[in-house]
Amino acid sequence: MVARTGEAGAKGISLIVVETAGADGYERGRNLDKIGLHASDTSELFFDNVTVPPENLLGKEEGQGFVQLMQQLPQERLALAVGAVASMERAVKLTTEYTKERKAFGKPLMDFQNTAFTLAERKTEAMIARVFVDWCIERLVAGDLDTVTASMAKYWCSDKQVQTADECLQLFGGYGYMQEYPISRIFIDSRIQKIYGGTNEIMKLLIARSL
């Protein structure tokens, strides 16, 4: 848990391990009704004067929570970019298969230039995203993935993920709007990627500070 243990501002934040089983004052609220990401519950949790022993402090010193969070954020943001690349690649694959099979006006959808060009653009961007993310992973492993680069990966890959999902769904026509077609789930689950892990606007703020 991220908790305020001291003064106002970042220096008063600490990370604490809370054993919730049987803890007085701990309560689970309702599961929030999300539009997507149904494989992962998001629930209200209430901590009302829950007490923990001092040894549950994560790390050696109180007041280091904000710094600890900042140190882990590049990795979290890169993980979101990895998911974005996988989503883009799958959307392009599914849509390529579908548009070769589905016929309109007597020919496969893929034979319309709009379809082929849309998929050519999305496939190119998925490849660019993969190469950039692979490079970021190398930097993470080497211990020098910085906040600005991780923010670029998170913002750009998730933006492209949402665009890819939207344009691929469009090529499925009405079937794309049906839950039985996996492209609909890719579309609806993509949207959160621009919001969590720090919104893409906040990513741009972080990148802009480096200009």
Ligand X SMILES: Cc1cc2nc3c(=O)[nH]c(=O)nc-3n(C[C@H](O)[C@H](O)[C@H](O)COP(=O)(O)OP(=O)(O)OC[C@H]3O[C@@H](n4cnc5c(N)ncnc54)[C@H](O)[C@@H]3O)c2cc1C
**CB-neighbour burial class of residue 175 (10 A; exposed 0-12, middle 13-18, buried 19+):** middle
**Rg of the chain, C-alpha, whole Å:** 22
Could you say whether residue 195 binds ligand X (CB under 6 A)?
yes
Residues that bind ligand X (rule: CB under 6 A) add up to a total of 11
What is the full DSSP assignment across 16-53? B----TT-TTEEEEEEP--SS-TTS--EEEEESS----
Q: Letter for the amino acid at 12? A: G
Q: Which of 23, 70, 205, 208 binds ligand X (CB under 6 A)?
A: 205
Could you say whether residue 37 binds ligand X (CB under 6 A)?
yes
Q: Which of 42, 71, 75, 210 binds ligand X (CB under 6 A)?
A: 42
Q: Tell me if residue 76 is catalytic.
A: yes
CB of 200 to ligand X, least distance (A): 7
Could you say whether residue 45 binds ligand X (CB under 6 A)?
no
Stretch that binds ligand X, among 95-103, 128-136, 158-166, 200-208 (CB under 6 A): 200-208
Dmax (CA) of the chain:
72
**Which residue in the list 76, 89, 121, 167 is annotated as catalytic?**
76
Stretch that binds ligand X, among 5-13, 15-23, 104-112, 199-207 (CB under 6 A): 199-207
What tokens does 59 get? 């790390």
> Is the torsion defined by CA of 155, 160, 163, 164 positive or negative?
negative
CB of 16 to ligand X, least distance (A): 15
CB of 103 to ligand X, least distance (A): 39
Number of CB atoms found within 10 A of residue 204's CB: 13
Residues with active-site annotation:
76
Q: In the complex, which residues of this chain contact ligand X (CB under 6 A)? A: 34, 37, 42, 192, 195-196, 198-199, 201-202, 205
